[in-house]
Structure 1
Amino acid sequence: MGELFTPSHLIIVAIVALVLFGGKKLPELGKGLGEGLRGFKEGMKGVTDEVNKDPHTVTPKPEETK
């Protein structure tokens, strides 16, 4: 079994995308995909930063009154 993403596979995927969405819609789809990936990376960075915080610097939550 060969590699999954050979150049010929990527060319075929690009041709199918061009046929399905057309030349005018592809840049918009690429931009939207890029913005989505950027937002995902920023969200993951925020979660990673929160996990890696020093526990001594975190301010405790106020106690609930009963």
Structure 2
Amino acid sequence: MGGIGASGLILLILIALLLFGPNKLPELGKAFGRTLREFKKGANDLMDDSERPARREVAAAPEAEPLKAERRLPE
């Protein structure tokens, strides 16, 4: 099972040409190319994210200023 040969590729192109027509085929090729590019980009982003070390949460410093008291309206 070596995959699709030259004759198989020609047969697929002929079937696509019969189904979609010669005018629609370039649009389908562009859409397929964009989809494939986005898929590869997403897969690469996932691979990059998994290789990066996880972030550590930083605790606030104890000498930080306490929050100012809320102002109340007169009763």
After superposition, where does 1:23-34 map in structure 2 within 5 Å? 23-34=22-33
Q: Do residues 10 (structure 1) and 16 (structure 2) align? A: no
Please list every run of 5 or more consecutive structure 2 residues that lacks an aligned counterpart in the other structure. 60-75
- The Cα of 1:61 is off from its aligned counterpart by 8.7
In structure 2, the CA distance between the partners of 1:54 and 1:25, relative to structure 1 (3 Å rule), is same
Q: Which has the higher contact order (CA 8 A, sep 6+)?
A: 1
> What one-letter code is carried by the residue in structure 1 that aligns with 2:10?
I
Point out the structure with the larger helix share: 1
- TM-score, normalising length from structure 1? 0.78
Aligned structure 1 segments of 4 or more residues deviating by more than 2 angstroms? 59-62
> What one-letter code is carried by the residue in structure 2 that aligns with 1:12?
L
Q: Do residues 45 (structure 1) and 44 (structure 2) align? A: yes
- The count of aligned residue pairs is 59
Aligned position for 2:57? 60
Bigger CA radius of gyration: 2
Please list every run of 5 or more consecutive structure 1 residues that lacks an aligned counterpart in the other structure. none
- TM-score, normalising length from structure 2? 0.69
Give the fraction of aligned pairs with identical amino acids, expressed as a percent.
37
